Amino acid sequence: MQITTCTKEDFDSILTHFNEFWDHERTLALHHPTLVNEFGNSAFVIKEGDKVVAYLFGFLSQTAPVGYVQLLAVRQGYRRQGLAGTLYEHFTQFARAHGCKQLKAITSPMNKLSISFHKSIGMKLSGDAADAQVPAVRNYAGPGKDRVVFTKDIA
């Protein structure tokens, strides 16, 4: 398996097999073709043969030296093999090579799996304690939509 940039065909395959990556459709609206068509140099996949088994869609901030991870997913049957961490490390190297000094990601306070993963790779949580007793930035995603904000220095 190797990491490559995500092609339009890879993106279409991810959408076609969406339920193999996600247990719900809450994030489907976040999978916009702009992620590949306009930001494809920071969208990465791991493939086994022609099959996408994991992906990370990121951005490089236009306002600060920050690499932002928008989406990260591993296909069922390939989880717990270190693929998410491998993609994060690849994106970290990419961001660093483009002058970034920090990584950033967000999730909802209820997403215990994401929170646990981001803590395990050394990311820090910022914000006040939300209803779930997890530090979250109040109203980060709009009124009443608190989010856990993760950061990690990479300089």
Give the tens place of pLDDT for each residue, 74-103.
999 999 999 999 999 999 999 999 999 999
Q: Would you kindly state where each structural domain of the chain is located, as residue ranges?
A: 1-57+71-83
pTM over 0.85: yes
Give the tens place of pLDDT for each residue, 134-148.
888 989 999 999 899
| Whole-number pLDDT of residue 134 | 84
CATH code, residues 1-57+71-83: 3.40.630.30
| Whole-number pLDDT of residue 110 | 87
DSSP labels for the chain?
-EEEEPPHHHHHHHHHTGGGT-SSSTTGGG--THHHHTTGGGEEEEEETTEEEEEEEEEE-SSSSEEEEEEEEE-TTSTTSSHHHHHHHHHHHHHHHTT--EEEEEE-TT-HHHHHHHHHTTPEEESEE-TTSSEEBTTTTSTT--BEEEEEE--
